[in-house]
Amino acid sequence: MKKVLHLLAGGGAGGIEILCEQIGLLGKERHEFCFLFGMGEIADRMRGEGLQVYDITEGSFLNKLGRLKALARKNGYDAVIVHHEGVGTYLFYYLLHKTVKAPKYFKYLHCSFEDRFFYTGNKLKDKLHYMLLAKVLRSSDALIAVSEFTKKSYVEEFKLSPDKVKVVYNGIKAIEDEARSKEHDNANLLYIGRLVDVKGVDVLVDALGILVNDEKLCHIHLDILGDGPARVELEQKAKALGLKDIVTFHGVQLNKAPFYDKAKIFVYPPIWQEAFGISIIEAMSQGLICVASDVGGIPEIITDGQDGLLFEAGSPKALAEALNKAIAITGGSDAAEFIKASRRRAADFTIEKSIEGLESIV
């Protein structure tokens, strides 16, 4: 049995953290997890589930690096995988690689590379970030991308050998009970994800502002699960557009089942080149019709008009039109077939396949 150490910046309720949790619980190899800058809901839950969790979040950078090196040497890992982005995370991984050479080293590419969101305008900081990322990519034994689009974005930007980048799609646990009742009349909408600008939730709120002017659609409601720096601004926007009673912000919710039961349509509106979108396949498996931006790796999941609906990213008008189509499907005679196709597509992305793909590389 191989021993694998996963490096994560934090342990909050995000897709990367939940993926790592599932890898730890279901993997055939021994997977352990080290949190560098912060713990959080998922890190705490992992510890409660009996997974080996290391918390080195306290102390100076050099102190933490020393503890990380000692941990790697003591436990004799076969592989080290770094997940999150950021200068600090890259430094820990790169310096560990340079001083503890026994394990193989892997960078998981959870985000696509995109100029307009990578660069902050601070030339010194951007140069350092880019330089460290390039060193991490080139020094790693292999890179693991969550979609073909993500692989292509790094190969082209950093002139990498395509053979070095392996694609392992994200996956979810299979849903045993597919007979979820959605007999309610309301066209309830659901969004799950971080509340940050790149996720395009402002586009969704603007689209609802268009839709509620149609008297036939006055019954729609949107539940938003998640939190982040854009939340206050989004709440203000919803209020300004007269959507206070139509949009509900619930914050982070680890138990999503009641919201899946209530909703008929899942909306995922990122404006950046989203690498994959694990919440999309989660929602499809739960029998929701998914409406998502036509960017990044999302078209590798959804075939427009067959198992979901795609719209032009960043356009409230295009999203409003796509939501109109989705609402019509939910009330039409083809709803059952459409949902069945969505479930079949979601079944292609299982956590077992993801773990098998990862463990075959490390």
In the chain, where the domains are located: 3-173+350-361, 188-346
Instruction: Report long-range pairs for 353-356 (Cβ below 8 Å, ≥24 apart).
Output: 353/169, 353/171, 354/19, 354/22, 354/23, 354/168, 354/169, 354/170, 354/171, 355/22, 355/23, 355/26, 355/27, 355/28, 355/171
Superfamily of domain 3-173+350-361: Glycogen Phosphorylase B; (3.40.50.2000)
> What mean pLDDT, rounded, does the chain reach?
93
Per-residue confidence (pLDDT) for residue 307, from 0 to 100: 96
Taking alpha carbons only, the member of 197, 259, 206 closest to residue 232 is 197
**Domain 3-173+350-361 matches domain 188-346 at the CATH topology level:** yes
* Domain at 188-346: CATH architecture: 3-Layer(aba) Sandwich (3.40)
Q: In the chain, which stretches have pLDDT less than 70?
A: 175-186, 214-218
Q: In 3-state terms, what secondary structure has residue 30?
A: strand
The CA-atom distances, in angstroms, between 288 and each of 209, 254, 308, 331 are 22, 19, 9, 13
CA dihedral 47, 48, 51, 56 (to 10 degrees): 10
CB 284 within 8 A of CB 208: no
Per-residue confidence (pLDDT) for residue 179, from 0 to 100: 46
Q: CA 1 to CA 29: how far, in whole Å?
A: 5
Per-residue confidence (pLDDT) for residue 182, from 0 to 100: 52
Tokens 């309720």 locate to 13
Taking alpha carbons only, the member of 178, 191, 197, 147 closest to residue 347 is 178
Q: What is the DSSP string of 181-206?
A: ----SS-EEEEES--SGGG-HHHHHH
Q: Is the pTM of this model over 0.95?
A: no
Give Dmax over CA atoms of the chain in angstroms: 66
